[in-house]
Structure 1
Amino acid sequence: MIDLTLLLNRESGDPLYAQLYHYIKKDILNGKLPADSRLPSIRSLSSHLHISRNTVDMAYQQLLAEGYVQSRPRSGLYIMDLKLEALPLSHVVSKNWLENSIQDSPEIRYNFRYGDVDAEHFPFATWRKLSNQSLLQNQMKLFSYGDPLGEPGLRSEIANYLHSSRGVNCSPDQIIIGAGVQYLLGVLSGLIGNVSHGIAMEDPGYDGVRTVFQHKGLNIHPIPLEADGLHIHKLYKSNSRIVYITPSHQFPYGMVMPLAKRMQLLKWATDQNGIIIEDDYDSEFRYVGKPIPSLQSLDTQQRTVYLGTFSKCLLPSLRIAYMVLPHAMVELHRKQDYRLYDQTVSHFQQNTLELFMSNGHWEAHIRKMRKVYRQKQFTLISMIQKMMGAQVTIIGEDAGLHILLRVHNGMDEHKLIATAEKEGVQVYPVSPFWAQPAQAEQSMVQIGFGGLSIEDITEGVYALHRAWFGV
């Protein structure tokens, strides 16, 4: 068994379990901890380092989740063999190809990918405890497919949360749970059927949603943006009766639609006998000003479909999203036999999330993550302003987990990304968000910050400055 001795810094801003996890991971990668050796038991290591068992357990669970160790029943945790030769033959890659790839592709040290979240602050110990509780309470029920709309208890918790946090007016019967917003939009596309006048979308807008609509055979009308969001007059001119929109944090530009324009959009829905699809994908994270009520909460005519997800606040891998339908569409869902569709989210995960919400952990976790992401966002913005100043323009800094950066150095999107990669930094294109990518701004990139540490954000901005301005 390995003897682990290290000094944990209790004054550091990093949690003790994260320090322990990084220490073990580093020693596995550099070979100091040999493959197939056993880690100390949770009890013995917690006693040896004078830390809680929960701290050790959380570090071990993260190592397990990332594949650095494996659990052997009634034996313990063992270091995985990460050498290429240890992989099954079907997964072995040509050594020459691998060496060439390493030479051709620089190592990415700072990945500013939008969609990554801060997994280190996920409450692993609490989630595992509630998972075990769910198993004990619902052993036989968990073997079933579950309610096709989603478990009633979880839908009730979601309804209560949405009402208190976003003003959404709904009953649990109006909520459908599914494995991601794209899946739910596929269901919704079936409900709205043959749309002769097509469906309107913000341009630029979320390309993942545009792809869903295209796969469903819907004709898409791109609607340009104004400084405060969707261009309502252009929406009228499109003759569409359905619009998909991200009013609380426009994707990707980040503007928040003001109350006056929300009322104009609701009037459009009444005038056109239309439907608004409101995607509230990251409304929990707003850093400037007070939150504006959701469109659904202002809609007295039942013309708004409301979408939300747990991917940004918890983990994307949980694959839990929800859709709130107007009453007429709930009835349509029933008549069209959509209840014959099996539920796509694990019965077990739904029950665990229900317990997580009902015991107060969800709102506590949101409060914690707001502080975490606010600090990361502040670090990113202040470092960019300090290093690059007037050489760049920051867009969409009031909310969410990403910004857009317009860079004034003469480089286009492709060149900005390529030069950043040479410095070990990955930033992302914005052109896919336009219906016609050639119409996209040419000197802009997307920068997500959710999955990076404060230190990596700081060092990553230094590297971007070197890449783009040569200093």
Structure 2
Amino acid sequence: MAARTSSLTLDIELDTGEGAAPLKDQVYQALLAGIRSGSLRPGDRLPSSRALSARLGVGRVTVTAAYARLRDEGWLAPRAGSGSVVTLPPGDRAAAPLSVAVPAVQKRVSPRASLALEALSFRVQALRPFAIASPDYESLPGKKWTQIVARVSKSPWLHNGYCEPCGYPPFREAIANYVRRARGLNCAPEDVIVTSGIQQGLSMCVQVLFEPGEKILVEDPGYQPHRQALAYFGLRPEPVRIEEPGLDLEAVRSSGARGMLVTPCHQYPMGYLMGQKDRSGLIGWAASSGAWLIEDDYDGELRFDGAPHSALASADAARGSVVYLGSFTKMIYPGFNMGYLIAPKGLAAAFGGAKMLNDRHASEVHQVILAEFIAGGRYEAHVRRLKKLYKARRAAMIEAAQSLLGRYGRIVSGPQGTHLAFQFSIPVDDRKLAQFLRSACGLELRTLSECCIARRDLSGLILGFAGFTEEQIREGMHLMAKGIERFLSGQGEGR
């Protein structure tokens, strides 16, 4: 096995004052202490005597004398081509490194540590049917994108300094123009804050808009990492039941909450579209109570039948109650990891400061690339291509679900997005079923029950279709149908 070269000997400090021990003894004692403490371990290769003497600013004879003494005592061994290598004297082979006895003190961690551990249960899905937001080669941005990337990469030093915390100005302008056209949201570039995604925008909302311990409403069912993030950052999420007719406005009005997180254009995971009555009611409640609405518009562009529905924030410009969160994750690819926040009037500077304190700034190179892609009309052309591609894949999944799974339940999602919700009409432990389908059929699935807080009546599967060809979808649905039949007949694990 090759010896490891240690850099820990650079920490040696020598005393050259009057009355100090000889330098060769100080070097010897420092190296011996490192070996005994475990900082230098058997197999570590020490620097050559010439290199170490240069680092310490002493004569080479000083280091060779220290090395010779350690070799004589069995702490070092010569190795051909490797210099001196740390070992242990025969009598100390089984000895543990010396340690100082210190009374054991129970370390404290924040109560939020348990929330952080819980968040890891929302694992990254493998790239196989029916993972959500699973990219494929057909749905990537294409040739024009790679041309822009290649050109910008030729002079990366132009955009690799510190960026303004709020974002690269041409990128903010491109986003403002885009959301005006695509989402009906009239905002200035100065209102746009570039983020690393919707989840960072959400954490910034908590920091800027709320006090610790305040109540915030969340949809039930809803996206579990976001409600976990709200709790992690110190708020008290409270569920509001979401059903096909709409949400419980009376529960909202009587809640005493300081805000609500909503997905009005494509409710996650059920796919419902928020009706006009609920939109007006929410905006009226926020305006009259001083509450905040946080709009998660994670795939608002991807409506397959007609033009996209306007954002909730587009109806709130005069009141300033809605913070809009958008992302490019679904449209470009997940690894791009870039989104934006549109702040109500007067709050952009505060959100910019929050961005500064969170992670300083987003990559300017990525912003330059996407700014050109959007400004040149390429992004909207890319979205149109995705809508055509995903519409066909969605249709293939619905047809297969109705044909193969109709006796177990129904598809409930609307005509938008990159996933469908299949709700069981028979009693099924969807979590155990998902585990069985993963192990027995090689399918990746999230469940409806995992999205719920207070609701106990929902059982179903969330099926991503965007990253898979129509053939892969049909094959996967056949596998799923057979797997569900095996599971319900008692052959599934854990039944």
Query: Could you say what secondary structure the match of 1:426 adopts?
Result: coil
Alignment deviations for residues 416-468 of structure 1 (CA, whole Å, 9 cap, x no partner): 224423233232222221225xx444531111111111111000111111122
Choose the corresponding residue for 1:446, options 458, 462, 465: 462
Alignment deviations for residues 304-354 of structure 1 (CA, whole Å, 9 cap, x no partner): 1001100111101000100000013224346x6754655443211110111
The reply on whether 1:326 has 2:344 as its aligned counterpart is yes
Structure 2 residue aligned with 1:116: 134
Query: Could you say what secondary structure the match of 1:425 adopts?
Result: coil
What amino acid is aligned across from residue 448 of structure 1 in structure 2?
A: G
TM-score (norm 1): 0.72
- Higher mean alpha-carbon deviation, 452-461 vs 217-226, is at 217-226
Structure 1 residue aligned with 2:430: 413
Q: CA deviation at 1:221?
A: 1.4
The reply on whether 1:430 has 2:448 as its aligned counterpart is yes
Return the alpha-carbon distance in structure 2 between the equivalents of residues 117 and 440 of structure 1.
Answer: 32
CA contact (8 A) 1:412 1:442 kept: no
Structure 1 residue aligned with 2:243: 226
Return the alpha-carbon distance in structure 2 between the equivalents of residues 409 and 221 of structure 1.
Answer: 28
Return the alpha-carbon distance in structure 1 between the equivalents of residues 386 and 319 of structure 2.
Answer: 35
Q: CA deviation at 1:194?
A: 0.7
TM-score (norm 2): 0.68
Query: Could you say what secondary structure the match of 1:117 adopts?
Result: coil
Runs (5+) with no aligned partner, structure 2: 1-125, 490-495
Matched ranges for 1:177-188 at <5 A: 177-188=194-205
CA contact (8 A) 1:379 1:458 kept: yes
Alignment deviations for residues 237-267 of structure 1 (CA, whole Å, 9 cap, x no partner): 2101211100000111110011222111111
Return the alpha-carbon distance in structure 2 between the equivalents of residues 393 and 341 of structure 1.
Answer: 43
Residues 443 and 265 (structure 1), Cα distance of their counterparts in 2 relative to 1, 3 Å cut: closer
Structure 2 residue aligned with 1:192: 209
Query: Could you say what secondary structure the match of 1:352 adopts?
Result: helix
Return the alpha-carbon distance in structure 2 between the equivalents of residues 290 and 247 of structure 1.
Answer: 16
Return the alpha-carbon distance in structure 2 between the equivalents of residues 212 and 410 of structure 1.
Answer: 31
Residues 407 and 260 (structure 1), Cα distance of their counterparts in 2 relative to 1, 3 Å cut: closer
Matched ranges for 1:16-27 at <5 A: none
Choose the corresponding residue for 1:465, options 474, 478, 481: 481
CA contact (8 A) 1:198 1:241 kept: yes
Q: CA deviation at 1:412?
A: 1.6
Structure 1 residue aligned with 2:101: none
Structure 2 residue aligned with 1:213: 230
CA contact (8 A) 1:127 1:356 kept: yes
Q: CA deviation at 1:139?
A: 4.2
Structure 1 residue aligned with 2:145: 127
Aligned residue pairs total 360
Query: Could you say what secondary structure the match of 1:250 adopts?
Result: coil
Residues 431 and 191 (structure 1), Cα distance of their counterparts in 2 relative to 1, 3 Å cut: same
Return the alpha-carbon distance in structure 1 between the equivalents of residues 246 and 379 of structure 2.
Answer: 30
CA contact (8 A) 1:319 1:345 kept: no
Query: Could you say what secondary structure the match of 1:327 adopts?
Result: coil
Residues 357 and 109 (structure 1), Cα distance of their counterparts in 2 relative to 1, 3 Å cut: closer
Residues 291 and 259 (structure 1), Cα distance of their counterparts in 2 relative to 1, 3 Å cut: farther
What amino acid is aligned across from residue 273 of structure 1 in structure 2?
A: G
Q: CA deviation at 1:209?
A: 0.8
Query: Could you say what secondary structure the match of 1:328 adopts?
Result: coil
CA contact (8 A) 1:285 1:370 kept: yes
Choose the corresponding residue for 1:245, options 249, 262, 270: 262
Structure 2 residue aligned with 1:31: none
Q: CA deviation at 1:195?
A: 5.2
Residues 404 and 440 (structure 1), Cα distance of their counterparts in 2 relative to 1, 3 Å cut: farther
CA contact (8 A) 2:220 2:240 kept: yes
Residues 216 and 415 (structure 1), Cα distance of their counterparts in 2 relative to 1, 3 Å cut: closer
Choose the corresponding residue for 1:348, options 342, 348, 365: 365
Structure 2 residue aligned with 1:400: 417
Query: Could you say what secondary structure the match of 1:383 adopts?
Result: helix
The reply on whether 1:260 has 2:273 as its aligned counterpart is no
- The higher radius of gyration belongs to 2
CA contact (8 A) 1:179 1:319 kept: yes
Structure 2 residue aligned with 1:274: 291
Residues 360 and 279 (structure 1), Cα distance of their counterparts in 2 relative to 1, 3 Å cut: same
Return the alpha-carbon distance in structure 2 between the equivalents of residues 220 and 340 of structure 1.
Answer: 24
The reply on whether 1:176 has 2:178 as its aligned counterpart is no
What amino acid is aligned across from residue 262 of structure 1 in structure 2?
A: R
Q: CA deviation at 1:387?
A: 2.1
Q: CA deviation at 1:275?
A: 1.1
Return the alpha-carbon distance in structure 2 between the equivalents of residues 363 and 373 of structure 1.
Answer: 15
CA contact (8 A) 1:229 1:247 kept: no
Residues 373 and 337 (structure 1), Cα distance of their counterparts in 2 relative to 1, 3 Å cut: closer
Q: CA deviation at 1:379?
A: 0.3
Return the alpha-carbon distance in structure 2 between the equivalents of residues 341 and 110 of structure 1.
Answer: 34
CA contact (8 A) 2:217 2:237 kept: yes
Choose the corresponding residue for 1:301, options 316, 319, 326: 319
Return the alpha-carbon distance in structure 2 between the equivalents of residues 369 and 360 of structure 1.
Answer: 15
Query: Could you say what secondary structure the match of 2:138 adopts?
Result: helix
Return the alpha-carbon distance in structure 1 between the equivalents of residues 392 and 178 of structure 2.
Answer: 25
Return the alpha-carbon distance in structure 1 between the equivalents of residues 355 and 474 of structure 2.
Answer: 49
Matched ranges for 1:69-84 at <5 A: none
Return the alpha-carbon distance in structure 1 between the equivalents of residues 135 and 247 of structure 2.
Answer: 28
CA contact (8 A) 2:261 2:296 kept: yes
